[in-house]
Chain A
Amino acid sequence: MDYFNSNFKDRLEDDTQGLPEGFAWEDMKDGIEEKMIAGRKAKRNRWWPLLLLLLITGCGGWMVASYFEKDIQVVNSANDKVYTPEIVEALSAETAEDKSIDNVEAIGKTETGTIVNTPEKESNINNTPKPLSQLPVDKPSNNTATNIKQQDGNSESSIEQKTNVEANLIQTSNKKIVEQKTSETNQKPKVIVATKDIFETRNKVSELTLLSKPISLLSNEFDYPVLSIGALSKKTIPPAKAQLSMAILGGANVWRNNLESIQNEDHLSGVLGWSVRPEVSLRKHKWQFTFAYQYDQLQEEFAYEGSTTVLEEREDVVVGNVVNSLTGASTPILKDTTINVTYIQRELKYNDYEVHHLDFSVGRILVEQRKHTLLLNAGLGLTLSFQGNGKRLNNLNLVDEFELRSAVNPAQLLSISSSLQYSYSINDRFSILTRVQFRQFLNSIALSSTDSMRPTVYGLNLGLQHRF
């Protein structure tokens, strides 16, 4: 046995001295109780980083969900395909009535008439994607034409009617939906800024890093839960050595384009995408240098609009008015007839982009308390590749996929990024991370020299970190 174990350790263990004066229980109990109360308070205060995590996650989740929810609403409305024959019918009847009065009066006085329907059917499909702003809105129905041919005696009166009714009402309602959507998406996202108070506690809390070290030894050896620690107002000592770590993160993202020309009714901005990001970090004192590769799957959404005109048979359509020349009273002429009805159809299509970045960032540890760390990061990114595939409607109302190579700048884009990260140490080696990330492209992703398209990407990531 080691000399010092047998002659120092064992001797001290076996021969403990009595307590000096002033250390009796009666003298100590009040002080112990006070410190217990302080310890309980400190234990309660230990939960605020978790509340902060919930706040960050909640805000990020709300940000993502708010985009997602809006898209769902519009997708649903688009999936309805806006086929509303009742509205069309009502509108066509109303329009026919208005127009037929003028026409009949212009032709002359007619007592009766026989209407002969001429079945005619034509379909006109126009699916060229164009923004709603370019479509006529609430314009008068000038395609309505009612011709009444009168034949002699008991001759039969032939009225050929050709009515084209544009479903302005539908279009108007769609317009409203899109306008509402656009106004919502145009709102700038709120940036959550940590309050000064939170960061001012840094110095106090950082002391707990040191406090945790002996405590953690205790918990390692006996596997006890960590002990409560009173708050001390001392500065922490950063690790003397540089510490290398590796992390993998993944999560959801949304993006917005700054290009005004596409922020109209047909472009519904970013929808929910995803990202994955392996990274290597080197920590020195309170600074962290990170090198990362990031893959983003971004999506954007366009509302494509097409119109289809079909000839439909309708019952009791007002095709004209007969005016009594003596009394001046008019009687509507109702007939089963065929009219042209134009349906407006909207479809939402997605463009997918695959983006590869290399990022370098510098982070500053704002708060470090035992197992909890809050890190603010800022850096520069080089986009290696930005490729995309688009989808649009063809003439048969079917979805076509096409490459966006001709429109998108394929590489060498620069971006700045920043993030706020909360990490929780599971043990000496592993931590779980949650991070709210922001990236602003500095160059245009559009190949066109006239369009400057510098999107902003927001992300919420979760991950696992391993320290070497």
Chain B
Amino acid sequence: MINTHIIETCKKGDKRSYALIYKSAAPYVYSIVRRYIEDTEYRKDVMQETFAKVFLNIKSFDDQKGPFKGWIRKVAVNECLLHLRSKSNGVLFVEYAAEKIEEIKDDSKLPTDLSRQEIESILDKMPNGYRLVFMLAVLDDYSHKEISKTLNITTETSRSQLVRSKRWLRNFLNSQHKRDMYGLL
């Protein structure tokens, strides 16, 4: 993605390297921002905030501790959550009493050839309460403990929401598959 030389020059304050980093990382960051921020008007603002923080704090990045891609993803996700929180009066997730739901892991009939556009379209249709936990847990590698802290919910709620979101996805994909197969609406 970005070689260490550019990162080192950026750490030294070379503004030319800002452009190089942006051009290399912006598509990846945008794909993250797009997932979280539905309103296209705010995506630009969140992108700018993300890169401003990347450049301001790049000195704290240590490639021994992890790849730059993972670091910039965290910054981008954090920025998206901040934005969502500010737009939702601080409440990202309304917690209900967590109930234990067992996960059914029969994924044999689910499609394996989904394109990026299809995935993003499915995620857009997913209920908000499921989508956020699903994206954090599956797509952005947050642990349940991290999710519970981020969304201010219990880890049990995070787990149950993830199971629900996967169940919803399975149902959706199955019904989609049936529609594709039998031409049903």
Which A residues are closer than 8 A to B by beta carbons?
2-9, 11-12, 15-20, 22-23, 25, 28-29, 31-36, 38-40, 43, 207, 210-211, 213-218, 220-225, 227-230, 232, 234-237, 239-241
Contact A7 B150 (CB under 8 A): no
Residues of B within 8 A of A29 (CB): 18-19, 22
B135 → chain A, closest Cβ, in Å? Answer: 9
Residues of B within 8 A of A5 (CB): 138
Residues of A within 8 A of B120 (CB): 12
A98 → chain B, closest Cβ, in Å? Answer: 85
* Chain B residue with Cβ nearest A18: B27
Residues of A within 8 A of B134 (CB): 4
Task: Tell me the complex Cα distance, A16–B69, Å.
Answer: 13
Contact A36 B55 (CB under 8 A): yes
* Chain A residue with Cβ nearest B26: A19
Which B residues are closer than 8 A to A by beta carbons?
18-19, 22-23, 26-28, 30-31, 34-35, 44-45, 47-49, 51-53, 55-57, 60-62, 65-66, 70-71, 74-75, 77-78, 81-82, 85-86, 89-91, 95, 107, 110-112, 114-116, 119-120, 134, 138-139, 142, 146, 149-150, 152-154, 166, 169
A29 → chain B, closest Cβ, in Å? Answer: 7
With A23-B30, A211-B82, A228-B56 known as contacts, the answer to whether A217 contacts B116 (CB < 8 A) is no
With A28-B48, A32-B48, A214-B77 known as contacts, the answer to whether A11 contacts B57 (CB < 8 A) is no
* Chain B residue with Cβ nearest A36: B52
B48 → chain A, closest Cβ, in Å? Answer: 4
Contact A25 B82 (CB under 8 A): no
Contact B47 A28 (CB under 8 A): yes
Task: Tell me the complex Cα distance, A240–B158, Å.
Answer: 14
Task: Tell me the complex Cα distance, A221–B143, Å.
Answer: 11
With A17-B116, A217-B150 known as contacts, the answer to whether A7 contacts B110 (CB < 8 A) is yes
**Residue A217 contacts which of B82, B91, B142, B169 (CB distance < 8 angstroms)?**
B142
Task: Tell me the complex Cα distance, A2–B146, Å.
Answer: 20
Contact A214 B81 (CB under 8 A): yes
Contact A39 B110 (CB under 8 A): no
Residues of A within 8 A of B166 (CB): 4
B-side interface mostly: helix
Contact A16 B27 (CB under 8 A): yes
Residues of B within 8 A of A43 (CB): 56
* Chain B residue with Cβ nearest A40: B56
* Chain B residue with Cβ nearest A216: B149
Contact B152 A237 (CB under 8 A): yes
Task: Tell me the complex Cα distance, A155–B166, Å.
Answer: 132
CB contacts between A and B, total, < 8 Å: 163
Q: List 12 A-B contacts (CB under 8 A).
A: A8-B119, A12-B31, A12-B120, A28-B26, A28-B44, A36-B56, A217-B78, A217-B142, A218-B71, A222-B62, A222-B71, A237-B152
Task: Tell me the complex Cα distance, A228–B112, Å.
Answer: 41
**Residue A32 contacts which of B52, B75, B95, B110 (CB distance < 8 angstroms)?**
B52
Task: Tell me the complex Cα distance, A3–B169, Å.
Answer: 11
Task: Tell me the complex Cα distance, A20–B31, Å.
Answer: 11
With A234-B86, A235-B90, A237-B90 known as contacts, the answer to whether A227 contacts B65 (CB < 8 A) is no
Contact A214 B82 (CB under 8 A): yes
With A23-B44, A31-B44, A31-B48 known as contacts, the answer to whether A239 contacts B150 (CB < 8 A) is no
Task: Tell me the complex Cα distance, A29–B47, Å.
Answer: 11
Residues of A within 8 A of B149 (CB): 213, 216-217
Task: Tell me the complex Cα distance, A20–B71, Å.
Answer: 23
**Residue A228 contacts which of B53, B81, B82, B139 (CB distance < 8 angstroms)?**
B53
A242 → chain B, closest Cβ, in Å? Answer: 13
Residues of A within 8 A of B34 (CB): 17
Contact B116 A224 (CB under 8 A): no
With A17-B30, A36-B55 known as contacts, the answer to whether A236 contacts B90 (CB < 8 A) is yes
Task: Tell me the complex Cα distance, A241–B82, Å.
Answer: 21
Residues of B within 8 A of A36 (CB): 52, 55-56
Contact A239 B152 (CB under 8 A): yes
Task: Tell me the complex Cα distance, A40–B166, Å.
Answer: 41
Given A25-B26, A33-B52, A207-B90, 16 new contacts (CB under 8 A): A4-B138, A7-B111, A8-B119, A8-B139, A11-B119, A19-B27, A22-B44, A23-B47, A210-B82, A214-B78, A222-B66, A223-B65, A237-B152, A239-B152, A240-B153, A241-B154
Task: Tell me the complex Cα distance, A22–B180, Å.
Answer: 36
With A19-B30, A32-B52, A218-B75 known as contacts, the answer to whether A225 contacts B60 (CB < 8 A) is yes
With A7-B112, A217-B146 known as contacts, the answer to whether A35 contacts B138 (CB < 8 A) is no
